[in-house]
Amino acid sequence: MVVKSEFEKLGLQTISVELGEVELEKEISDEQKEVLLENLQVLGFDLIDDKKTKTVERIKNLIVDLVHHKNNDLKINLSDYLAENLNQDYNSLSNLFSEIENTTIEKYFISQKIEKVKELLIYNELSLSEIADILNYSNVAHLSNQFKKITGFTPTSFKQSKDKKRIQIENL
């Protein structure tokens, strides 16, 4: 809503506003783009204009959506999911992502899953076994090992700690 509002303030008609993407009815001028960029940066957003960066953002958005909103789809193969949704070969997507982000798609995916685990542990509504199942871990031990490797805590010690800090999605 905030992003859409900024476009409307400048008299720019949007066709759709999705996570990380805005489709406009017509092209905008360089001056409008500059003003829009300044307004969006004040709000903590940025404009992505080049094709490589757009593709990387689409990869991130697909992963975030998959992990945080489509738990049932986590059983599918990540490389197939990305290749199918972006209509590109996974190897080229992987190379591009690594080049731009200095990390792999798999590591980004794991970091998103660990953040989801933290969220679910904080809510304290599910057992570790249920969390492992929801996030498609083969077993609790696998989840626990990965969690400890990324956070330095076991899930149980994290759950008991008073310092339950989560990383904002955009900072991963």
Torsion 94-95-96-100 (CA) sign:
positive
Q: Delineate the domains of the chain, giving CATH numbers in brackets.
A: 2-42 (no CATH), 51-108 (no CATH), 109-171 (1.10.10)
At 137, is the secondary structure helix, strand, or coil? coil
What are the b/e assignments for 71-99, b being 16+ CB within 10 Å?
Answer: eeebeeeeeebbbeeeeeebeebbebbbe
**Tokens representing residue 60 in the block:** 């991130």
pLDDT attached to residue 20: 65
pLDDT of residue 169: 58
Rounded to whole angstroms, how far apart are CA atoms 21 and 28? 15
Mean pLDDT by 10 residues, the chain (172 residues): 78 75 76 79 72 88 88 75 92 92 94 93 88 90 94 88 59 59
Tokens representing residue 26 in the block: 């017509």
How wide is the angle at C-alpha 102 spanned by C-alphas 94 and 118, nearest 5°? 90
In 3-state terms, what secondary structure has residue 17?
A: strand
**Does an H or E element contain 102, and which?**
none
**108: helix, coil or strand?**
helix
Handedness of CA 152, 158, 160, 165 (dihedral sign): positive
Cα R_g (the chain), whole angstroms: 19
Per-residue model confidence (pLDDT) at position 26? 77
pLDDT, residue 39, reads 79
Residues 6+ apart with CB under 8 A from 17: 3, 4, 7, 23
